[in-house]
Amino acid sequence: GESGAGKTVNTKRVIQYFASIASGASMKKDAIASGKGTLEDQIIQANPALEAFGNAKTLRNDNSSRFGKFIRIHFGATGKLASADIETYLLEKSRVIFQLKSERNYHIFYQILSNKKPELLDMLLVTNNPYDYSFISQGETTVASIDDADELMATDSAFDILGFTPEEKAGIYKLTGAIMHYGNMKFKTRQREEQAEPDGTEEADKSAYLMGLNSADLLKGLCHPRVKVGNEYVTKGQNVQQVSYSTGALAKSVYEKMFNWMVVRINQTLETKLPRQYFIGVLDIAGFEIFD
């Protein structure tokens, strides 16, 4: 289906329907006792959590899924909801560091900067202005149909219902913040050499702090990476262009690994010990956009 035709919205409705007709009253009691959401709630809340990190405004669609997903809903022998699991495919990584003029990066960046939770800005050492961060301000930064502040609260509460701990949530936010600082790292050419060196370390210090790394090690890894040649490692010099390519590649890789970790973590929540006999699978793949 074309982007914006309704694939993702339909998927949500179908899942809501299966989850609500098949969930038992006993589940609600267990959920109240555990303080987390019911399995039915958790299956439904997996969507806002993944959409914040995997959906973005594109030319034709304000909330376009930039990844594919296959959701299996498992039922017991009597047709009661037993568990669920999600597989994801091909997250679009290029968007993390580059957007076309009328497009936007993933929603989560703008949700955080909406200042609805000011403590996040303090924790991530960021301002509330997307234009301060080059990785997220190459296209649009606001979308008329989306209230980023409200969406942040929805994302945050989805994590809670899914049973993420405060540390896990903070870790996800910190990695997202680190990527914003990544795009602002500056490098210059050392005099009379091709070798790049840091042009100020403030942004590297911030991203290293958020990622639990040593800032000097991070910069050394970018400017003088160790590469394997045959059976041994050698340190190679890089020019400014190569370093900026490495920085972008690292940002994309961190984002993708974080996204995949979230899927694994959500699946841990949706995995119950209940016996299961049947499943219904719902496939929601990324759409296509038709241009002139």
Active-site positions read: 3-4, 8, 61, 64-65, 287, 289
The CA distance from 251 to 149, in Å, is 25
Cα distances (angstroms) measured from residue 39 to each of 27, 74, 177, 221, 262:
7, 11, 30, 43, 17
Residue 163: both structure tokens together: 């049973």
The CA distance from 141 to 139, in Å, is 7
DSSP 231: T
Residues 6+ apart with CB under 8 A from 287: 1, 2, 3, 4, 5, 7, 61, 64, 65
DSSP 131: G
The CA distance from 56 to 42, in Å, is 23
